[in-house]
Amino acid sequence: MIVLPNLGAEEGRDHVAPPGDAVRAFAWLFGSGAHILDWEGELGWPEALGPPLEQPLFELAGDAFAWFADAAAQARLRAAGGRPILPPAEVVEAIHDKAFAHRAALRTGHLPDCLRGMVDALEAEDLTPTAVEARVRELPPWSRGWVLKPRLGSSGRGGVRRIEHVPGALERLRRRGGAVFEPWLSRTEDLSALLLVGPKGELRWIGTTRLLVRSSGVYLGNQGIVEPDGRICSGSPRDEELCAAAAEVARLAAERGYFGPLGVDAFAFRGPDGEVVFRPVVEVNARFTMGMVAAGLVSLALRRGILQPPAEWVFVLDGEARGAEFVVPLGERARLGWKRC
């Protein structure tokens, strides 16, 4: 098995090297026999989770995988002797494009009414300071500001929030497929749904999680609960709505020819009158995610009887165990922890 840990590749030449802890944890999903491309560090293994995996944690077709299966990644896998079974690279990029998430939310009725007309996907050729200024003027008073997000990106990086910064960011945003304009909202909860989409459109659930992110949206980790029956869930009262929306979006992705790992990010926010509003489809990740890594390691601990349900768990890359009673060091700062509940 061949694995390319090209974390952040969707940012193109703006790519920031991921922390080694994240690369190692991703590589663990594929078992000790996997050949990891373009990685010179030690993979190691957290002994507290028992012996290293011999087989991949997730059932996937083919013998070669990448974090983000764009054209460059698929070519690299084949050049290394792999026989990947992956969707066309243009399909992967089209589904990962934030414009797909926005249009899917509109098509499925999952864009809150108070945001209609306030979120817009701008093509690269239409991205100008004048176009952005026009949209800023149309925002209602209750919006806390605005953000211009690159359509191809990750981890909340590369957004623009001030008019004076727009001209200098245009080339970078155009290079990354254009931008999505939306109001800057007061978020109260960040969630993610994690699925595997089969080649025939069948859906297999990995679970749901709460996202741990900075105010800018930069990823810190995931947390959630293990239900008494072993299901990995966020523990949010919005889980059912999140799962329903994510399933609809996953089916739309499958209709476009996508299969493989799929993550749907969501959040709740303060609406026009201060009420909490849920936005169940914010971004779609047509790739692996760190939430899948976290849920995979939690499922392994469950399978081996190291973690007993019901429990609360947390996975972080910043070294903060956040109240966990049992903590497994995964690297320099990565941690997996849990406590019984």
Q: What is the pLDDT of residues 44-64, one digit of tens each?
A: 999 999 999 999 999 999 999
Task: Judge whether 279 and 189 are in contact, CB under 8 Å.
Answer: no
pLDDT band at 13 (very low <50, low <70, confident <90, very high): low
pLDDT of 334 over the 80 cut: yes
Report the C-alpha gap between 264 and 247 in whole angstroms: 9
Task: Judge whether 285 and 309 are in contact, CB under 8 Å.
Answer: no
Q: Give the residue-averaged pLDDT of 166-172.
A: 94
Q: What is the pLDDT of residue 214?
A: 87
pLDDT of 158 over the 90 cut: no
Give CA separation, 105 vs 235, 238, 247, in Å. Answer: 23, 16, 12
Structure tokens at 170: 């245009």
Q: What is the pLDDT of residue 72?
A: 96
Q: What is the pLDDT of residue 14?
A: 66
Report the C-alpha gap between 54 and 37 in whole angstroms: 18
Of 154-158, 177-181, 292-296, the range with the lowest mean pLDDT is 154-158
pLDDT band at 217 (very low <50, low <70, confident <90, very high): confident
Task: Judge whether 209 and 264 are in contact, CB under 8 Å.
Answer: no
Report the C-alpha gap between 93 and 72 in whole angstroms: 12
Q: What is the pLDDT of residue 17?
A: 76
In 3D space, the residue among 11, 17, 15, 6 whose CA is nearest the CA of residue 177 turns out to be 11
**pLDDT tens sequence across 300-333:** 999 999 999 999 999 999 999 999 999 999 999 9
Ordered by where they begin, the domains of the chain are 2-94+188-340 (3.30.470), 117-184 (3.30.1490.20)
pLDDT band at 153 (very low <50, low <70, confident <90, very high): confident
pLDDT band at 155 (very low <50, low <70, confident <90, very high): low
Q: What is the pLDDT of residue 80?
A: 98
Question: Percentage of residues in the chain with pLDDT exceeding 90?
Answer: 91
Q: Report phi then psi at 340, rounded to 5.
A: -70, 150
In sequence order, the β-bridge partners of residue 4 are: 66
Cis amide leading into 329 (omega within 30): no
Report the C-alpha gap between 320 and 224 in whole angstroms: 15
Question: Average per-residue pLDDT in the chain?
Answer: 95
